[in-house]
Amino acid sequence: MAEAVIKLGKKKKDTTFLDKVKEILPEGGNLNACLTCGACASGCPATGLADMDPRKFLRMAALGMDEEIAQSDWPWMCTMCMRCIYVCPMQIDIPQLIFNARALRPREERPKGILGSCDMALKNETTSAMGTTEEDFEFVIEDVLEEYQEAQPEFAEMEAPIDKEGAEFFLNQNSREPVTEPDELVPLWKILHLAGVDWTYGSKGWAGENYCMFLADNKDWEQITATSVNQANKLKVKTYLNTE
């Protein structure tokens, strides 16, 4: 009589999500050094959302649960604020793991809000997620500046320059403010004016957020970033000031 043969477990995958991430991160990202102490989960704003936390997510990755990770909405709830790295005694780079987990989904299946904002930012060299053109941005800035110069004489000399060459700072701006809340632009202008700061917006690349980065679309977030950097270099500005 033939002997019964019992095989336990599944065949090891040729490549897994965790293997790919280890190839990207320096020294494999130290992901195997997790002590499961829970420090990351205790400090994470997204802990508990979708019944998930950083420690559980990391264990799922270590166990090769690629499909479950790809299907989970939790990686999209993480802000990649880096708090988990700061509290981790082993300094494991969980946000990098999150970033690459987002790329497991086909681009068209990623969250519509982030996807739409990324695609909109790519349509104009302003990189505005609201689709604001260079002409519209310049009109709003000039209109709001003139209004406050007239209404508040103490700020009659205040400036909000665009494409000023050789300034100290290249300032970016949240895309929504020029469109929906233009008055919210002014407080920062006042601070820079009173501090005597030499700054400028760029007509190109002035939008501060980069939804393509949060979409985990490497090619497109690099294009957004390059647009801002190229404009700052063209203007020979010394420092890029990110308000976001």
Q: Which ranges constitute the DSSP H helices of the chain?
A: 17-24, 39-42, 54-62, 66-71, 83-87, 94-102, 112-121, 134-151, 176-180, 186-194, 211-214, 218-234
pLDDT higher than 70, residue 28: no
Q: Final residue of a domain: which of 46, 70, 105? A: 105
pLDDT grade, residue 217 (50/70/90)? very high
pLDDT band at 222 (very low <50, low <70, confident <90, very high): very high
Q: Which residue has the tokens 């990110």?
A: 242
Supply the range of the domain harboring residue 202.
Answer: 113-241
Is the residue at 214 inside a domain? yes
| Measured CA angle at 39 (ends 33, 42), to 5 deg | 145
Residue 123 lies in a domain: yes
What is the model's pTM? 0.82
**Do both 160 and 234 map to the same domain?**
yes
- Tell me whether residue 2 is in a domain: no
Residue 10 pLDDT level (bands cut at 50, 70, 90): low
**pLDDT of 156 above 50:** yes
Question: Do 34 and 121 reside in the same domain of the chain?
Answer: no
Count of structural domains, the chain: 2
Helix (H, G, I), strand (E, B) or coil at 200: strand
Residues 96 and 143 in one domain: no
CB 143 within 8 Å of CB 135: no
Residue 134 lies in a domain: yes
What is the pLDDT confidence band of residue 16, given thresholds at 50, 70 and 90? confident
Question: Are residues 56 and 173 both part of a single domain?
Answer: no
Q: Is the pLDDT of residue 4 over 70?
A: no
What is the DSSP code (8-state) at residue 152? -
